[in-house]
Chains A and B, each alone.
Chain A
């Protein structure tokens, strides 16, 4: 459900955390893991994140449901490494790649799934000083995306109704694709223009101050979440160093 932009409505503590804090925590962990080149550090981070997510209200089942495409792509990358790597220990290298990719992406993906896009826009504006015009215009544009997916299908059917299909001819297929893209873009530009007029009619283009209907606060627990991410990363590095396996990617 790539195009379902509505967040899963989680009820746990983690789901209620401030969106910007969640983004920051996911970024800290992902960045930290990206800097380490051994298999143990990301594995420790991954295990801790899964435990923390489960404790914070995201069940392992949901992580698997939402995270399986990631698992597949991480495993594919690992397999490619195994087959084509010139390393002395291809198995270890492949395992490292798989765990790293999964550990970098999983926290971000799962956390993002618990963030409602509206809350994220609110929080970006109020807590991260992102300009309101940019945040809410992006949010409004995001809402038009599912309409485009429906329209893509409709245009395809409309072309069939006009007697146009590609059959097995690749050149015809490309032409058909280009034509559909053109029609879709014309529609998207029209929609975007109409939406912009409707937004401006409600004062979106005003230059004065703007008030806030949905306050987003940064609580102590949100600061704790970010600090916790740092601590978790540090613990993983210390742990793998103690076991003698830690290796930064530049070493």
Chain B
């Protein structure tokens, strides 16, 4: 980030946009007074909050970040809100009044003693907002607070932000990819340019009307802009009740020629829990077809994905590969296959791309699969060069995969799964937190795989993936889970 001139007045509510790498998070961290100029690679210009160095105004500022798991400090909800108040030496009797007020403002649905590790992502984010609100900030800095959440959780978090803005009148600076939903929270939009400086600044409607095309091309989720439709055919919803055990597809007993993988009434119960995460779900993955698995948090989408991907043995029911997919090995269920056999038939893309990286260079990462399969060195090199080009990763060919941006990591992880030519591709939340440009590229990549005769299974919260890509939708449902009681010692 450089050459940025920006003045924000007290009480303004600003949405900060820009492609990844434009310095949005850096700006927020600097405003929060958390950037140490002594450790900066190269700092220039001046940044003030209320005319002072941000490090001197820390008490007036609150910051909420993207990842729910690493924002909560304490084991109990009330203690976590109290943490910031203790640090700022708020008198003890006042602390719990402010904690209760903050929990009420964000609509936190439990009492103070609720264990923070038993909260959903959306609940954790609301708790983090309560921790920020309790500090009575004059400036509220929010760095993608809803990026990791499902739609319901994100909506509740936006509600909590609105409540805080209304109560405190705090100046708000918000970074968020999904623009349409967040417009209600802001009255000004500022777009950073990738090289430095500003692309646009002003009233949201005005900015999007004037710069909409350029912003969309740069990856910004401009409101009301259609996405490409890459369906093979119209959607036919399949309803499966994760509890009733009703079968999803009437024809599931008949293995058709296109079937690659057939799950028959599969169920799974995680260790240490009594409630099954998945129960009685039947579904088949077919050549040339994209299946979206949707449903709220806790309905077992990820569990089903892991079972279909041959990474977990179903607790109940069976998963069968057809001879088209596995030849003679079809007699064994996929979770019994050796890893290399699995990777050649079923590719999996995990939620966190970093979990899948095996090498220290982007180029090696792409070459890993084909090389293992014994492909000719020149053929591998040609193929890797082609993939790098298609994924816009050529300049990063020698970089370490762990150092890439979120969007680059995601593109790389999908590409590595495809390098071994698996007929089936299983993805868990492939579009989480991606900018528009990466999103479109991902959908194109998946559609190309499907159109070449592959099968896609994507567990997703993203409604746009369903409308743009899915040929079939499996909706998992969940009965409200019984609360897990803390273990008691009888005495």
A interface residues with partner B (beta carbon < 8 Å): 5-6, 8-12, 15, 57-59, 62, 114, 116-118, 136, 139-140, 143-144, 146-147, 151, 154-155, 157-165, 167, 179, 183, 186-187, 191, 194-195, 197-204, 206, 208-215
- Chain B residue numbers with a CB within 8 Å of A58 are 489, 491
- 19 CB-based A-B contacts, threshold 8 Å: A11-B489, A11-B491, A118-B76, A136-B73, A154-B355, A159-B356, A160-B342, A161-B309, A161-B311, A183-B357, A194-B65, A197-B65, A199-B83, A201-B63, A202-B84, A203-B59, A211-B90, A211-B95, A213-B95
Contact A15 B90 (CB under 8 A): no
| Cα–Cα distance between A133 and B72 once the two chains are bound (Å) | 16
Q: Is B367 an interface residue (CB 8 A)?
A: no
Q: Given known contacts A8-B489, A9-B487, A159-B339, is B92 in contact with A215 (CB within 8 Å)? A: yes
Chain B residues whose CB sits within 8 angstroms of the CB of A157 once the complex forms: 306, 311-312, 350
Which chain A residue shows the least CB distance to B487? Answer: A8
List, in ascending order, chain A residues with CB within 8 A of B89's CB: 208-211
Whole-angstrom distance between the alpha carbons of A5 and B417 in the complex? 37
Task: Give the distance in Å from the alpha carbon of A155 to the alpha carbon of B350 in the complex.
Answer: 10
Contacts A6-B75, A198-B70, A210-B89 given; indicate if A12 touches B34 (C-beta within 8 A). Answer: no
Those 3 A-B pairs whose CB atoms lie nearest each other, nearest first: A163-B343, A202-B84, A203-B87
Q: Is the CB of B65 within 8 A of A203?
A: no
Q: Give me 14 other A-B pairs in contact (C-beta within 8 A), A203-B87, A211-B92 excluded.
A: A8-B489, A136-B73, A136-B83, A157-B350, A161-B343, A161-B417, A165-B338, A183-B355, A197-B29, A201-B65, A202-B135, A210-B87, A213-B82, A213-B86
Given that A58-B491, A200-B34 are known contacts, is A194 also in contact with B354, CB under 8 Å in the complex? no
A104 to B92 CA separation, bound complex (whole angstroms): 39
How far, in whole Å, are A25 and B405 apart by their CA atoms in the complex?
52
Please tell me if B318 contacts chain A, counting CB pairs below 8 Å. Answer: no
Smallest beta-carbon distance A137→chain B, Å: 9
Q: Mark B376-402, 1 if CB is under 8 A from A, else 0.
A: 000000000000000000000000001
Give chain B interface residues in 154-203, CB to chain A under 8 Å.
Answer: none
| Contact in complex: A186, B69 (CB < 8 Å) | no
The complex places the Cα of A191 from the Cα of B354 at a distance, in Å, of 13
Nearest residue (CB) in A for B359 is: A179
Contact mask for chain B residues 466-491; partner A; CB cutoff 8 A; 1 contact, 0 none: 00000000000000000000111111
* A114–B489 CA distance with the chains assembled, in angstroms: 9
Q: Which of B72, B343, B355, B417 contacts A155 (CB 8 A)?
A: B355
Residues of B within 8 A of A (CB): 29, 32, 34, 58-59, 61-63, 65, 67, 69-76, 79, 82-92, 95-96, 99, 115, 117, 128, 131-132, 135, 306, 309, 311-312, 338-340, 342-344, 347-348, 350, 352, 354-358, 368-369, 372, 402, 416-417, 420, 486-491
Give, as a whole number of angstroms, the nearest-CB distance from B339 to chain A: 4
Chain B residues near A203 (CB, 8 Å)? 58-59, 84, 87-88, 135
- Which residues of A lie under 8 Å from residue B59 when comparing CB positions? 203
Q: How far is the CA of A199 from the CA of B67 in the complex (A)?
A: 13
**B73: shortest Cβ distance to chain A, in Å?**
5
B74 contact set on A, CB distance < 8 A? 118, 139-140
Across the interface, name the chain A residue whose C-beta is closest to B368: A162
- Assess A154 versus B350: contact at CB under 8 Å? Given A114-B489, A212-B92: yes
Nearest Cβ in chain A — how far from B92, in angstroms? 5
Q: Contacts of A163 on B, CB cut-off 8 Å?
A: 339-340, 342-344, 369, 372, 420
Name B354's contact: one of A144, A146, A186, A213 (CB within 8 Å): A186
Whether the pair B343, A162 counts as a contact (CB closer than 8 A) is: yes
> Given the complex of chains A and B, what is the CA–CA distance between A210 and B34 in angstroms?
20
Interface centre among B73, B88, B128, B489 (most CB of A within 10 A): B489
Docked Cα-Cα span, A152 to B489, in Å, equals: 30
B487 near A191 (CB under 8 angstroms)?
Answer: no
Whether A199 touches B489, Cβ cut-off 8 Å, given contacts A158-B350, A164-B339, A186-B402, is no
> Cβ of A15 and Cβ of B343 under 8 Å apart?
no
A161 touches B342 (CB 8 A): yes
Chain A: minimal CB distance from B283 (Å): 19
State how many angstroms separate the Cβ of B172 from the closest Cβ of chain A.
Answer: 15
B124 → chain A closest CB, angstroms? 12
Distance between Cα atoms of A210 and B85 in the complex (Å)? 9
- Decide if A143 touches B342 in the complex (CB within 8 Å): no
Q: Which residues of A contact B32 (CB under 8 A)?
A: 201
Cα-based distance from A59 to B369 in the complex (angstroms): 56
Residue numbers in B under 8 Å from A139 (CB-CB): 73-75
Q: How far is the CB of B54 from chain A (nearest CB, A)?
A: 12
User: A211 vs B87: C-alpha distance in the bound complex, in angstroms?
Assistant: 7
CB pair A140 B491 closer than 8 Å: no
Chain B residues whose CB sits within 8 angstroms of the CB of A118 once the complex forms? 74-76, 79
A162 to chain B, nearest CB (A): 6
Contact partner of A213 among B73, B96, B128, B132, CB < 8 A? Answer: B96
A192's nearest neighbour on chain B, judged by CB, is B70
User: In the complex, A8 Cα to B488 Cα: how many Å?
Assistant: 6
In the complex, A200→B488 CA distance in Å?
35
Q: Cβ of B344: which chain A residues have Cβ within 8 Å of it? A: 163
